[in-house]
Structure 1
């Protein structure tokens, strides 16, 4: 088991902000799955968030994680699902989560309108309400499956109760 807390959620839900706050207030390191993959591949991602090689990217992620100092607990900011090159919602392979072996799983959620607003402000890209809702619902559903199969605690944290759940989350780590 790696010393990591996996923090999932769809694009624009606030994972980076959440992880930065925990890092700043509790001294826990944060790594972004997409940044680790991009560094390994020497590539960047498009603003529409569509990913061409979801399955092969997981190999890059696992290689990068093997190079991360894991003596201390750290947060890994990532996803349970991604949008494929055609805009379809695709689950990250279950084997990736088995190999990552998180100690705790977190899924951040928020209102669809708030997520769309953040994405538009950040990426200047307008997203479809029903796609974002379906994307978030699938992220939650798959996180529950992974949590059960790996037998690790799952925290589903919305924007209203984030502060209240951080202490309980860190106690498990």
Structure 2
């Protein structure tokens, strides 16, 4: 799976929009962990809690192996941390990222108020500012840790500015 760049961040941060824009300007194909997992088949659409994180990640790896083609480059839009069944922030196992073997790790961050507004509009329910802030901080810290452990480049996309990332991924080939 070495033809893949992993772009993570919390729900509502804008990963999908950024990935779509990058793909318009490059030869990368945008895929989401949710699509590969068929999240809509295993959970309600507005449910952010994952009952069995390890099981879900095993399913992701199996799905990626069936989906990815050797002659294409991919942006995988997903998460470094998830809410477990208790609603607590839990890191995705490092083994998942070792199996994915991304060429680069990127995390998308933006203002928590903006994320909160997007999620509340999308899901028609209230979100706690501090829970979202904690989740974004956890995603960012763990993304850096994963990049260090896998010895791959790390890049933070702040407030939607992905222009430097395009140069980075273009030079990874």
- What TM bracket, shorter-length normalisation? over 0.9
Unaligned ranges ≥5, structure 1? none
Partner of 1:144: 144
- For 2:47 and 2:86, the matched residues in 1 are separated by 11
- CA–CA distance in structure 2, aligned partners of residues 160 and 6 of structure 1: 16
Partner in structure 2 of residue 170 of structure 1: 170
TM-score, scaled to structure 2: 0.92
Residue 60 of structure 2 is matched in structure 1 by 61
Q: What TM-score does the superposition give when structure 1 sets the normalisation length?
A: 0.92
Match in the other structure for 1:108: 108
Which portions of structure 1, spanning 4 or more consecutive aligned residues, are displaced by more than 4 angstroms?
none
Whole-angstrom distance in 1 between the partners of 2:73 and 2:47 = 32
**Residues 1:145 and 1:110: Cα distance change in structure 2 (over 3 Å):** same
Give the secondary-structure state (helix, strand or coil) at the position aligned to 1:172.
coil
Residue by residue over 1:1-25, the C-alpha shift from the partner in whole angstroms, topping out at 9 and shown as x without a partner, is 5200000001000001011111222
Q: Kindly indicate whether residue 77 of structure 2 is the aligned counterpart of residue 80 of structure 1.
A: no
Which sections of structure 2, spanning at least 5 residues, go unmatched? none
**CA apart distance, 1:160:** 5.3
> How many residues were matched structurally?
172
SS at match of 1:31: strand
CA RMSD after TM alignment: 1.7
Q: CA deviation at 1:33?
A: 0.6
Q: Per-residue CA shift, 1:81-113, capped at 9, x if unaligned?
A: 011122100100000000000001110000000
**8 Å Cα contact 1:116-1:132 kept in structure 2:** yes
Report the 3-state secondary structure (helix = DSSP H, G, I; strand = E; otherwise coil) of the residue aligned with 2:79. Answer: coil
Deviations 1:99-157 (A, max 9, x none): 00000111000000010011111111211011000000000110111000000000011
Question: Cα offset for 1:170?
Answer: 3.0
The equivalent of 1:24 in structure 2 is 24
